[in-house]
C-alpha cells in the first residue's frame, strides 16, 4: 500500500501547478486545476490519516464533476468515465466518513485511474477530430 501511495505522490508532484481555487471556473483548464488541487489534498489526507481532509476534498471533486464545464466531450465513453468518477468520489467520501484508510486509499487510486483513462480518451477523440 505504501508503494502505491508513494508512486501516486510522485506522479502528482510531477503534475503540480500553482494557482488558487476559483468558485466558478470559466474554462475547462481552470476546472482541471481545481480538480488537481482537490485531488492532491485527498492524497495529503490519505498520507496523513486526515479523514476530514479526504472527505472535504472528495466532496469538492464530486461538486466539480457536476459542473457544466466538466463535460468537454459528448461521447458515450466520456459519460461512462464521468459517472465512474462520481461513483468513486462518493465511495471515497463514504470510506473517509467510515474512517477506513485502506479503502479510502484504494478509492483514491481508482479515482486517479479513472482520470487517466478519461484524459486519454479525450486526447484520442481530439486527435481523431483533427485528422
> Alpha-carbon distance 114 to 85, whole Å?
6
What is the predicted pLDDT for the residue at 21? Answer: 43
Residue 91 CA, distance from chain mean position: 13
The reported pTM is: 0.77
For residues 75 and 113, what is the distance between their CA atoms, to the nearest angstrom? 19
**What is the per-residue pLDDT across 55-111, written as a single tens digit (0 to 9) for each?**
999 999 999 999 977 888 889 999 999 999 999 999 999 999 999 999 999 999 999
Predicted confidence (pLDDT) per residue in 3-61, tens digit: 665 555 555 544 444 444 444 445 667 888 999 999 999 999 999 999 999 999 999 99
- 30 vs 130: which has the higher pLDDT: 30
Structural domains present in the chain: 2-130 (1.20.120.290)
- Report the pLDDT value the prediction gives residue 105, as an integer from 0 to 100: 98
- pLDDT of 29 reads 77
Q: What are phi and psi of 30, to 5 degrees?
A: -70, -40
Which class for 108: exposed (0-12), middle (13-18), buried (19 or more C-beta within 10 A)? buried
pLDDT for 12 equals 52
Q: What is the pLDDT of residue 23?
A: 47
Amino acid at each position: 500500500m505504501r508503494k502505491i501511495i508513494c508512486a501516486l505522490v510522485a506522479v502528482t508532484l510531477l503534475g503540480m501547478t500553482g494557482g488558487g481555487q476559483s468558485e466558478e471556473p470559466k474554462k475547462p483548464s481552470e476546472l482541471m486545476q481545481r480538480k488537481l488541487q482537490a485531488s492532491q489534498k485527498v492524497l495529503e489526507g490519505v498520507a496523513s490519516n486526515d479523514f476530514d481532509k479526504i472527505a472535504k476534498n472528495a466532496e469538492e471533486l464530486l461538486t466539480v464533476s457536476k459542473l457544466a464545464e466538466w463535460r468537454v466531450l459528448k461521447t458515450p465513453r466520456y459519460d461512462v468515465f464521468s459517472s465512474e468518477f462520481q461513483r468513486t468520489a462518493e465511495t471515497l467520501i463514504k470510506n473517509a466518513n467510515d474512517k477506513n484508510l485502506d479503502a479510502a486509499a484504494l478509492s483514491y487510486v481508482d479515482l486517479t485511474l479513472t482520470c487517466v483513462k478519461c484524459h486519454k480518451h479525450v486526447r484520442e477523440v481530439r486527435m481523431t477530430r483533427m485528422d
